[in-house]
């Protein structure tokens, strides 16, 4: 934990960063994401079944490749946040943050005194006591990231109060659930959804909080870049793997047909 969080550094310096969700619960996929050149990974424990031991090993794989690993926890409660951070995550992505109270609860769970009340532990992150535990608290508070995910109409309406909470390191949009909250499920590029996402981005600019987009098409990426966005999550590895496998099969079938006609 004494090592600087490279994702925080890059965001602070205005560098462009590229991330990916990892939903397949295996350290191998985390290592592949690192070797592919991504700047960070978000291990998903909200929509994927990841047991605590596997989560810890996925984070170890990220550490071995100097890849900052965040964990999307199931909810803002203290338990999942504590377990993710004690496993070594460099931060947490908190889904369905709808109000200031949700953001404050996440920060209380993620930070030690005086910034929060994260439960004290001398486990793997401070080297089982190899680091002075009192000294460890300061870099832990400095390097651990708290990232609220805005994916509800209520969260959009209260975005200014959410981002006014001191200690929010980045805000991540969640267009899929947001589309459902707006009554247009899975229409993630609907004008109403895009307008809501723009409200989040504008609020992030006002509060000096980096906004992270999930572009779903090349056009989305260009539009976000034109608005000054520098942080992107490019989907998840399950979807990428599925599309690559299907495309590979279709190419092979087409080639077989062509050769049969020759």
Residues classed as catalytic: 47
| Positive/negative CA dihedral, 15, 76, 43, 129 | positive
For residue 127, the 8-state DSSP code is G
Tokens of 149: 């995910």
Cα 140–Cα 147–Cα 7 angle in degrees, nearest 5: 60
- The number of beta carbons lying within 10 Å of the beta carbon of residue 154 is 14
E-assigned strands of the chain? Answer: 17-22, 40-44, 69-72, 91-94, 145-150, 171-173, 211-213, 231-236
Q: Which pair of structure tokens corresponds to residue 191?
A: 């004008």
41, 69 in Cβ contact below 8 A?
A: yes
139 C-beta neighbours (distance < 10 Å), count: 16
In which residue are the tokens 């459902």 written?
A: 180
Q: Specify whether the CB–CB gap between 90 and 125 falls below 8 A.
A: no
Instruction: Classify the C-alpha dihedral 31-36-42-45 as positive or negative.
Output: negative
What whole-number distance in Å separates Cα of residue 182 and Cα of residue 236? Answer: 23
């Amino acid at each position: 934990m004494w090592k600087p969080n490279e994702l925080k550094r890059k965001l602070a310096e205005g560098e462009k960063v590229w991330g990916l969700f990892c939903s397949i619960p295996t350290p191998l996929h985390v290592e592949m994401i690192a070797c592919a050149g991504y700047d960070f990974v978000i291990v998903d424990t909200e929509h994927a079944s990841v047991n605590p031991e596997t989560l810890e090993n996925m984070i170890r794989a990220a550490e071995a490749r100097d890849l900052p690993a965040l964990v999307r926890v199931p909810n803002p409660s203290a338990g999942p946040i504590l377990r993710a951070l004690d496993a070594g995550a460099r931060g947490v992505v908190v889904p369905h943050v709808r109000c200031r109270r949700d953001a404050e609860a996440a920060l209380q769970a993620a930070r030690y005194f005086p910034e929060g009340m994260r439960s004290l532990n001398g486990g793997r992150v401070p080297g089982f006591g190899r680091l002075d535990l009192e000294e460890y608290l300061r870099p832990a508070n400095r390097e651990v990231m708290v990232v609220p995910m805005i994916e509800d109409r209520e969260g959009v309406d209260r975005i200014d109060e959410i981002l006014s909470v001191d200690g929010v390191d980045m805000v991540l949009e969640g267009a899929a659930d947001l589309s459902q909250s707006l009554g247009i499920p899975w229409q993630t590029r609907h004008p109403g959804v895009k307008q809501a996402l723009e409200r989040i981005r504008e609020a992030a600019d006002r509060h000096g909080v980096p906004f992270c987009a999930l572009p779903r098409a090349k056009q989305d990426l260009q539009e976000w870049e034109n608005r000054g966005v520098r942080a992107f999550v490019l989907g998840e590895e399950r979807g990428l793997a599925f599309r690559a496998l299907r495309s590979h099969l279709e190419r092979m079938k087409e080639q077989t047909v062509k050769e049969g006609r020759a």
